[in-house]
Amino acid sequence: MAAVISDRPIVTRAGRIQLTWLAAQVEIDRQQLYPNRGPKDLQVVLDTFTSAVSFSSQTGRAQQRTLNKEASGLRAALALQHKKIQALQAQLNKTKLIEQRIHMGKAVAL
């Protein structure tokens, strides 16, 4: 099972491992993964594996929410900085225009 975890992403649906995918990965019949159909030790391993995946997916979702909040805050800060840059560029363009008019000897109204 360690090879399944380390080499490939785990396929889940609704917080549970997809048994068809898992059976294909470990090359056994899917029916052996269902309760009372396969070896009891396989059921114990499957329960442990399922709880580990469930825990990691819950932790992953919490981390994803935190990252989304941080990214949202960074996007807002970036948008604010972009607006400041645009305002400064507009002010610079206005100053350049005034400088050009002064250089050409034209009247400047401030």
Residue 92 resides in a domain:
no
Q: What is the pTM of this model?
A: 0.43
pLDDT given at position 60: 60
pLDDT given at position 3: 43
pLDDT given at position 109: 80
Domain count, the chain: 1
Residue 45: domain span: 2-79
The answer to whether 33 touches 42, Cβ cutoff 8 Å, is: yes
Residue 17 resides in a domain:
yes
Helices and strands in the chain, H and E counts:
3, 2
pLDDT at 104 over 50: yes
pLDDT given at position 2: 45
Residue 94 resides in a domain:
no
Q: Quick one: average pLDDT of 34-42?
A: 79
pLDDT band at 98 (very low <50, low <70, confident <90, very high): very high
Q: Quick one: average pLDDT of 18-28?
A: 80
Q: Which of 43, 41, 3 is nearest to 19 (CA)?
A: 43
pLDDT given at position 6: 56
